[in-house]
Structure 1
Amino acid sequence: MSYLKYTQYVYILFAVYFIYDGVTKLNENNEGYPLSFVIAGMAIFMFFFRRRFVKRFDDRNKKQ
């Protein structure tokens, strides 16, 4: 399960992309920019959630 340590960074990449997408849509006066920021916020939340989950999983394996 070592791949879980690295998949959490995919969420940060998604967040960066959707923040960039939201800013470009905001500058072009498109109406879809709030959705991009919401998805970026969810990706950041998932990054921290996954990081906490991986840490808890590692701590449980160390006790065994």
Structure 2
Amino acid sequence: MGYLKYTQYVYILFAVYFIYDGAIKLSENNEAYPLSFVIAGMAIFMFFFRRRFVKKFDDRNKKQ
């Protein structure tokens, strides 16, 4: 389960991409820019959720 420590950073990459995408759409006056920012917010939430999950998983393995 070592890959879980690294997959959480994929969410940060998604967030950066969707923030960039939202900024581009906002500057072009595209109506779909809020969706990009919502997806970026969800990706940031998932990063912290996944980080907390990995920490709990590691702590539980250390106790055993």
**TM range, smaller chain:** over 0.9
Gaps of 5+ in 2: none
List aligned pairs for 1:25-64, cutoff 5 A.
Answer: 25-64=25-64
Runs ≥4 in structure 1, deviation > 2 angstroms? none
> What is the aligned-residue identity percentage?
91
Gaps of 5+ in 1: none
SS in structure 1 at match of 2:30: coil
Work out the number of aligned pairs and report it.
Answer: 64
Normalising by structure 1, report the TM-score.
1.00
RMSD over aligned Cα atoms: 0.2
Normalising by structure 2, report the TM-score.
1.00
How far apart in 2 are the matches of 1:45 and 1:5?
Answer: 16
